[in-house]
Structure 1
Amino acid sequence: MLDIPGWVPFHRLAVVFALLVAIGALAFVDRPSRLTATLRRRFLFGVPWGTLVTIGGVLAVYLFLQDGRSSWYRPIVIPFRAWSYFYPLGMLSAPFSHSSAGHLIGNLIGTLTLAPVAEYALGHYPRRRGSTSFGSLRTNPYVRAFLLFPAGVFVVGLLTSVFALGPVIGFSGVVFAFGGFALVTRPVTTILALFSGRVVRLFYDAMLSPEVTATARPVFSTPWWAQIALQGHAIGLLFGVMLGIWVLRRRDGTQPTAMRSFAAVLLFAVQESMWAVYWFRGSETFVLFRAVGLALVIMLAILVALTVASSNRPIRANAPTGSVGSARRWQVGVAVLLLATSALTGPAIPANMFTAASDDLPGERVEVRDYEITYVEDVPNGLTAAFDIELFGESTTTNTSGVVVKSEQRGIWTTAVSKNRLAFDGRSVVRLGGVGWRDEAVAARDGYVVMGTGTSAYRVFLATENETVLAHKTGPVQAEPVVAGRNISVVPTDAGYDLQVSSDRGTVRGPMPTANVSTTLDNIRFVRHEQFIFAEYRGTRVRVAREETYN
């Protein structure tokens, strides 16, 4: 048996070798390549330079603005979200920033697979009869590839940021705009490109982690569909669709059939989970309206298909010029698409007019430059809508609990770590920063689960490089077991934890027992065994509390 040294990346080499063999075999059988000739007719040297420049720009934002170069998996996120119109840095940076390396890679792969289709439809060379490639800046292929296409991407990204609802972050709005444009101009090619993205992602994962060993363990997670910026994706898709229709009509070429357009849009929308319409109820509870979402994407698909395939004839023959009846049939579809886009973008305008109030945060807090960090429980969320709106029985009014970050200067008020997340992990790092700097604050929790109550007595600490404060502690929590007619409670204090024994004769308190030292209160002896606290009285032994453990 062949003995391969451990330092040889055998699994990665196997994937690369298989890919090279496949490419070589296809090149040999299909020579001369018609694909290469087609790409050269539409692209400068056959390469989608605009796509590559776009990918390079997004990657540069992650590496340098978000400091991903020094911490690839832990970029600075909070200051680069689109918090409000009063924070221009967030509005400008959010559509090109990302919350994690996985988020970045997903959007870059989407760009790599969908943007070339859109760029191919536009082309680096002018297509109008009589125009020359170097007759003007607009028709110059170098300008079109390296300047105009990236400039268009920047404008679309800015639009998805300005009209997005909530503090969004990520390039996915632009990726969906690529998808919408490509679906209108090249529907079948777009679907092939969409699924080729899965192959690219699998190749990336295989290179990154050729072997994966997984074990069962508890995790804290929210539903996957509650992590989708659905409104941002939808407006990006609609922007792309309308741009695609505009390009098709300007060229007055052959439009795709309605069936092709319908099938392509429906497959794209379902694959990209655009049916996942959800709402939130606060306290990390979410509601998914699956049936409503599916109905919406079907209506979207048929609307796009009919608009693309409609003729240029007026709605009513011989209608007076300027009247409603003189409008072109495809223009009716565009008007409906504009109404749908307005309905999606409109609510974002008042929502993005909010900013952090000047009121002080409750409780103890720490500061990092212009940021304030504290811990709260059941307080109104500082970035919810100004007006309470009810829809399908759900409300926009929510309260929040957890580690809150506020910056009045930046208009930021956000729950950076939820109460349940901190209870699960026990410790969480909040990454803060701005252009050219980064810092951290740490939230840590300790506590005791009190038997029979399902609740804990706990404390939360906040720490920076310069200070540590006790930000929160619960009141006494009484255990369910009653020992010799006495109630037992766990009491958080500034210094640690006490036990409290209450009866008709009064109340006494003493320190929580340690591994080697017991505590006796009102003739009840308390001892610790590992993480458990027991009460002993005349041969009776009852467990009253357990120290919290975290994942």
Structure 2
Amino acid sequence: MDVSGWLIVQRAGVVVAFVLAAVAIVAADRPSGRWGEALRRRFVLGVPWGTLVTLLGVLAVYLFVQGGLSNWYNPLTLPFRAWSYFYPLGVLTAAFAHSGAGHLLGNLVGAAAFAPIAEYAWGHFPRHRGATSFGSWRTNPYVRAFVVFPAVVLLVGLLTAAFAIGPIIGFSGVVFAFAGFALVNYPFTTVVALAAGSVVRTVYAAVQTPQLTAGGRPAYITPWWADIAIQGHAFGLFVGVLLGAAVVRGRSRDARTSALRLWTATVIFGVQQSLWAVYWYRGGDTYVLYRAAGVGLVAVMAVVVTYIVVGSNRLVLEDAFDGAFTHRRWQAGVACLLLVTAAITGPAVVANLYTAGDGELPGEEVVVRDYEVTYAESVTNGMTAAVDVSAFGETTAVNTSGVVVRSEERGIWTTAVTKGRLAFAGRAAVVVGGVGWRETVYAVRDGWVTAGGNTTYRVLLSHDGSARVVYTADPARAGPVVGGRNISVAAAPQGYYLRVARDNETLAARLPRTNQSVTLDGLTFTREKKRLFVEYEGTRLQIAERETYK
């Protein structure tokens, strides 16, 4: 059997194994309709319609708004991020758009795991006996399933986009809201759903890639925790907890979960979902992780969530200040959570009130409608420089290097490709566009590395069939001194040059083509494919080589 046939057999084997397992479990449990009856008590026809409408809506944004239908692995993202309050389209779409197929599927799986639990806890039908389902639009099960639930999801999505720091994109804030709502109502069920989501992702990976052969290889990566929108996740979770608590506290105390059960489940969820990954961007490609502080915050957060749900109605500070500051214990928990929420959303309000500057961009830019694309190094980030806040030795006014994209019309200023990533790959595609259109600008880097490790390079931007050099680095000096002469390679828009310096006198010549030579001040330079050699008085050594990319 050929390799492709064997892979098909393995994929089928995974599917068949789970189908047979499901049949065996049903036969062993003999539910006799009990599962369906339990679902129908809370759902119209036993189906979480609100969840299905939500999942289809998010998928539709990816396919038809971002262009994922024709570019599944490379959707348009720049115009659909929440850049600032002065760009409403980004705020409206950010929570429902995604950066790629993996990002989309991960959030859909998370929503499919937690949203049905949240919808079940809220329910399409009233819990109280004797209450009528069709007495008003507020209790109508069809309105609750197809209108109210999706509308609340939409509102929470808008809130997570409006109160997130940085140009966020993705449904994860709403997924965390689902999880928060589910946690306070069914804590251990939520933990099981968390594990189930991991199982689904593993099974999907097994079907997609049944057999994997891997080995060591160079790669350019940022720390995994630096890709987590921790503030947006925490905000979504807190919103879900507050909404869920409003539901669960309407029940009798006996119907609520225990404090130990809720605290344990919240800690497990917070640690597993990396809510402890508190970090800061220091500029360039440097990040700082405050792991110990983050883990401690998760434990404290779990206590606050627990008190909100199971806290008693007994008063605290009852005799203090002549009763002026009396609160019930659960209300104190709510106040604490609101304060924390305000603390993590406050900086977002300040940052989102600023937009891209209108000053000159460094270097020559490529213009695509309202977008300007260029390359620059060690320039102040145009979005964060407007708000200079320092804390714990860190600052929001950071320098950045790489491919810069700006749109004054949309309030966008971003480093679309960092200097390090372009140096690693040598080529990167930057997709710009808007609703109904997209265009691609390609960034290409070429360079020479001299003996001694110094590098000089050029960056070209290509669009619509034309290319131009928009950046040249400083000359790279070679380590060896040959015959008392210093040798450098210099980048220029039209190509590369050799420089030979001695006694304050410099001679220059174009870098020779492959298998050709040039002589400068008694030194003979010969190029052999990607290597450059120098000869002097019978001595020959490699002086430089072309930069290579992965």
* TM bracket (short chain): over 0.9
Question: For residue 329 of structure 1, what is the aligned residue in structure 2?
Answer: 329
**In the alignment, is the contact (CA less than 8 A) between 2:515 and 2:528 conserved in 1?**
no
Cross-structure match for 1:539? 538
Shift of 1:390: 2.6
So what's the TM-score if we normalise by structure 2? Answer: 0.96
Q: How does 1:281-430 map to 2 (within 5 A)?
A: 281-315=282-316, 323-325=324-326, 327-430=327-430
The answer to whether the 8 A contact 1:81-1:93 is kept is yes
* In 2, Cα distance between equivalents of 1:385 and 1:349: 15
Q: What amino acid does structure 2 have at the position aligned with 1:501?
A: V
Task: Tell me the equivalent position of 2:83.
Answer: 83
Structure 1's 514 and 388: CA in aligned 2 closer, same or farther, altered over 3 A?
same
Deviations 1:92-124 (CA, angstroms, capped at 9, x unpaired): 000000111111111000001011110110111
Mean CA deviation greater in 507-516 or 365-374: 507-516
Give the drift of 1:491.
Answer: 1.3
Which 4+ stretches in 1 moved above 6 angstroms?
Answer: 2-5, 316-322
Query: 5 Å matches for 1:48-447?
Result: 48-252=48-252, 254-315=255-316, 323-325=324-326, 327-447=327-447
Q: Report the equivalent of 1:498.
A: 497
Query: Any idea what SS the aligned residue of 1:542 has?
Result: strand
- Residue 73 of structure 1 aligns to a residue whose secondary structure is coil
Instruction: Check the 8 A contact 2:304/2:333 in 1, yes or no.
Output: yes
Q: Distance in 2 between matches of 1:230 and 1:3?
A: 46
Residue in 2 aligned with 1:23? Answer: 22
State the one-letter code of the partner of 1:141: P
Give the whole-Å Cα distance in 1 for the aligned partners of 2:485 and 2:398. 40
Q: CA deviation at 1:520?
A: 1.1
- In the alignment, what sits opposite 2:487? 488
Q: Would you say the 8 A contact 2:318–2:325 is kept in 1?
A: no
Offset at 1:456?
Answer: 0.9
Contact 2:314 2:329 in 1 (8 A): yes
SS in 1 for 2:231: helix
Report if aligned partners of 1:375, 1:403 keep a CA contact under 8 Å in 2: yes
Q: 1:498-532 deviations in whole A, cap 9, x for unaligned?
A: 11111127222112122221111111111123321
By how many angstroms is 1:538 displaced?
Answer: 1.3
2:512 equivalent to 1:513 = yes
Superposition deviation, residue 331 in structure 1: 0.8
CA separation of 1:505/1:180 partners in 2, compared to 1, >3 Å: closer, same or farther?
A: closer
Contact 1:481-1:542 within 8 A present in 2 as well: no
**How many angstroms does 1:216 deviate by?**
2.0
Structure 1 Cα separation of the partners of residues 177 and 262 of structure 2: 16
Q: What corresponds to 1:6 in structure 2? A: 5
Flag the 1:3–1:468 CA change in 2: closer, same or farther, 3 A.
closer
> Which stretch shows the higher mean deviation, 198-207 or 218-227?
198-207
1:318 and 1:548 mapped to 2: Cα distance? 75
Q: Counterparts of 1:137 and 1:544 in 2: how far apart (Å)?
A: 80
CA distance in 1, matches of 2:301, 2:91: 28
Counterpart contact for 2:249–2:309, Cα < 8 Å:
no
SS of 1:250's equivalent in the other structure is coil
| Alignment correspondent of 1:523 | 522
Is the contact between residue 351 and residue 387 of structure 2 (CA under 8 Å) also seen in structure 1?
no
Aligned AA (1:288): L
In structure 2, how many angstroms separate the alpha carbons of the residues matched to 1:397 and 1:4?
53
Q: What one-letter code is carried by the residue in structure 2 that aligns with 1:160?
A: T
Instruction: Identify if the C-alpha distance between structure 1 residues 8 and 358 changes in structure 2 by more than 3 Å, giving closer, same or farther.
Output: closer
- State the aligned residue count: 548
Secondary structure at 1:533 match in 2: strand
The offset of 1:73, in angstroms, is 0.4
Change (3 A) 1:232 1:7: same
Provide the rounded CA distance (Å) in 2 between the counterparts of 1:513 and 1:301. Answer: 67
Measured against aligned partners, the alpha-carbon deviations of 1:342-368 in whole angstroms (never above 9, x if no partner) come to: 111111111000111111212111011
Give unmatched runs, 5+ long, in structure 1: none
CA distance in 1, matches of 2:394, 2:372: 31
Q: CA deviation at 1:401?
A: 0.7
How far does residue 370 in structure 1 lie from its aligned partner after superposition?
0.5
* TM-score, scaled to structure 1: 0.96
Change (3 A) 1:16 1:487: same
| 1:283 positional shift | 1.1
SS of equivalent to 1:470: strand
Residue by residue over 1:368-395, the C-alpha shift from the partner in whole angstroms, topping out at 9 and shown as x without a partner, is 1100001111010011153433322222
3-state SS of 2:479 partner: strand
- The answer to which of 185-194 and 486-495 deviates more is 486-495
Question: Are residues 459 and 49 of structure 1, via their aligned partners in 2, closer, same or farther at CA, if it must alter by over 3 Å?
Answer: same
State the one-letter code of the partner of 1:241: V
Instruction: Flag structure 2 segments of 5+ consecutive residues without an equivalent.
Output: none
Deviation at 1:303, TM superposition (A): 1.3
Distance 1:480 1:315 in 2: 73
- Contact 1:351–1:385, Cα closer than 8 Å, also in 2: no
2: CA distance between counterparts of 1:276 and 1:37?
41
User: Which shifted more, 306-315 or 364-373?
Assistant: 306-315
Give the secondary structure class of the aligned counterpart of 2:366.
Answer: strand
Q: CA deviation at 1:314?
A: 3.0
User: What secondary structure does 1:342 align onto?
Assistant: helix
Residue pair 1:27, 1:33 contacting (<8 A) in 2 also:
no
Letter in 2 for 1:180: G
Identity %: 56
Q: Is the 8 A contact 1:366 1:467 kept in 2?
A: no
Q: Answer yes or no: is the 8 Å Cα contact 1:117–1:190 preserved in 2.
A: yes
AA aligned opposite 2:192 = L
